[in-house]
Structure 1
């Protein structure tokens, strides 16, 4: 447990630092939107491209890992659909709750898996991201648009504009084609990638809005605890069912134990979802995850 705490506390200290910096007005309110855009469109895609271009995509065990990812999403998605049928949630609410359950904070995930398992963990994590990012984006758009017609062309256009999906696809293509990054390109991507995670964690902290926790406390708590404790248990069960290795299991469970992505708020606003509820989920889950991640990783250890 000491090893896990040593690996995780710097990450949450950066999140707290980001919150404190924004509250103190340093380096200025205009800094954070630009920092998020820089990370989302340049720095983080560079990290994914760099990792996936060298990931073990021809590893014979990899299909089992991807199958475990898909099975976990399928089980959780089916549970959400059943809950929607019983509770009769409108799309504006259902889309928020689905994002709270299935989307994940990639910055925190890669930083945690890198601190705990090093480069082997990062490689498996990159492969998981390559499958999860397009899956959860498609499901999020469909859930928020469930009460109105969405054309396949509009959905594809939305995915094609996502820099994370584009960088994942580019990294996989480079890897499968056997193209190596040379003449300093690998070093450039490494420099950009090394900047991404600390800036991303500071931005997560800056995005916390404690005033958004007022109202709908029951929905916030149930959604958050389901995401942070029950969904990782489902992922662990899928990993055991498909006989994944210890590092693969840890990477899988960790990504399904992460708080939801802050970018969920933007998508919710764009598609007319319940943005107040989404802001509450985005704020509460990182706060609770400081304790739940330690519990989950201690269980795995």
Structure 2
């Protein structure tokens, strides 16, 4: 399928969300409720479904997960070195870390489904089972320096994360070969099918282009880093580990995704530079529509 055509429904859903929000077609209460419903129920169910019933080929996915871990670790360590060298304030440093290592799962799963079908969805699901806890830990650590957070507090906040719970329960079901009764299984499939379109519409509603006027150099640096530099690093790591073409493409696509909309929530929670974070999310999401087709053309 042509990459532009595959992106079209995603772009339209995001655009619909942006228009609905800006025209007040739907109230602010709706968006708060929709985001809460998707974050607490629909998306965890989707992650559970994608992990509970797939064939976990751990022997074949080990190299992919190793590459994923290495790329995230190198990116995070590079940012920590830059912080020490440039004396970056914590309020902005947490924004930089999230903008480079977090990923928009709604866009990612939609692209995997459209471009690579069930095989891509399964590999992506296994990748995010590792990535979601890892990037959340690193993001919290980036903000928590000097705030006196105890390791137990960080662990407890991660355990409560519904996305992590959805992944963990799905993996347990898979490993123990458990199953739901048919009625509940069908209900979960219906709930899961609602998650991605609603999530993409909420992504559009969360875009704040007015914040693009804030600090051009930092916005551009974070966008170029995420959409061009990190995918290039991913390609080099895949080449070094001798991954096959499909695994390489999936990993590069993973690291070419814009940062997660939820990064804004974590930034506000830790009193970070939320205006900069909002601008980064918006600019990365906007530029992704241009950089991703180019990236896929280079990989083909």
**Could you state the TM-score of these two structures normalised by the residue count of structure 2?**
0.97
Q: Match of 1:70?
A: 69
| Paired residue secondary structure (1:211) | helix
- Once the two structures are TM-superposed, the CA of residue 213 in structure 1 deviates from its matched residue by 1.1
Contact 2:234–2:252 (CA under 8 A) maintained in structure 1: yes
- 1:18 aligns to what? 17
Structure 2: how far apart are the matches of 1:66 and 1:56? Answer: 16
**Equivalences, count:** 300
Are the equivalent residues in 1 in contact too, given 2:99–2:222 (CA < 8 A)?
yes
What does the per-residue CA deviation read over 1:127-180, in whole Å, with 9 as the maximum and x for residues that have no partner?
A: 111000000000000001123322111001110111000100000111111113
Does 1:122 pair with 2:132?
no
Distance 1:184 1:257 in 2: 38
CA distance in structure 2 between the partners assigned to 1:24 and 1:148 by the alignment: 39
1:274 aligns with 2:258: no
Instruction: State the alpha-carbon separation in 2 of the partners of residues 164 and 251 from structure 1.
Output: 21
User: Partner of 2:182: helix, strand, or coil?
Assistant: coil
Per-residue CA shift, 1:98-121, capped at 9, x if unaligned? 000010100000001110000000
Secondary structure of the residue aligned to 1:201 is helix
Measured in 2, the distance between the counterparts of 1:240 and 1:185 equals: 43
Q: Distance in 2 between matches of 1:234 and 1:17?
A: 33
In 1, are the aligned partners of 2:94 and 2:143 still within 8 Å (CA)?
Answer: yes
Which residue does 2:263 correspond to in 1? 264
Q: For residues 189-204 of structure 1, what are the structure 2 equivalents within 5 Å?
A: 189-204=188-203
- TM-score, structure 1 normalization: 0.96
Q: CA deviation at 1:237?
A: 1.4
Match of 1:249 in 2: 248
Distance in 2 (alpha carbons) for counterparts of 1:184 and 1:63: 34
Which residue in the other structure is 2:298 paired with? 299
Deviating above 6 A after TM superposition, structure 1's stretches of 4 or more consecutive aligned residues are: none
Contact 1:55 1:127 in 2 (8 A): no
Listed as ranges, the gaps of 5+ residues in structure 1 are: none
